[in-house]
Amino acid sequence: MDIDVEQCRENDKIKRIISKSGLPIKHIKLLLRLSDTIYINGINYNVSIEEGVVNILLISSKPANKMGVFNTISLANVMYKLRNMDSNNEDIKTRCEVKDGMINVVVEVKW
């Protein structure tokens, strides 16, 4: 996934991508809540959605904006939200992959 700097600056752009994804409303709501958690915790990120697979690339924590450097508490809050989303919804499976120091969160939605 290429990094879109505009997505990092504008949470509304990410919300539009999620809202127009064609996923069921239940999953859109879950992803929007996750998006809010990431944004509130000051993490730069990008989102892409293809065929029921959501890729959320966590790039860095603000204000440092140094690629691959994250605030521990912020990252823990996001991972906690992700864990709850995965464990409370049987139709969602998540995993994390580290690529070039960034964290790619993969959310597979089964519908």
Confidence (pLDDT) at 1: 67
* Domain CATH for 20: 3.30.565
Please give the residue range of the domain that contains residue 42. 5-109
Rounded to the nearest 10 degrees, the angle between the axes of helix 25-40 and helix 11-19 is 170
- Number of independent structural domains in the chain: 1
The 10s digit of each residue's pLDDT in 12-57 is: 899 999 999 999 999 999 999 999 999 999 999 999 999 999 999 9
Q: What value does the mean pLDDT of the chain take?
A: 93
Give the distance, in angstroms, between the CA of residue 91 and the centroid of all CA atoms in the same chain: 17
The answer, yes or no, to whether residue 79 has pLDDT greater than 70, is: yes
- N-to-C CA span, the chain: 24
Both structure tokens of 50: 């293809």
The answer, yes or no, to whether residue 7 has pLDDT greater than 80, is: no
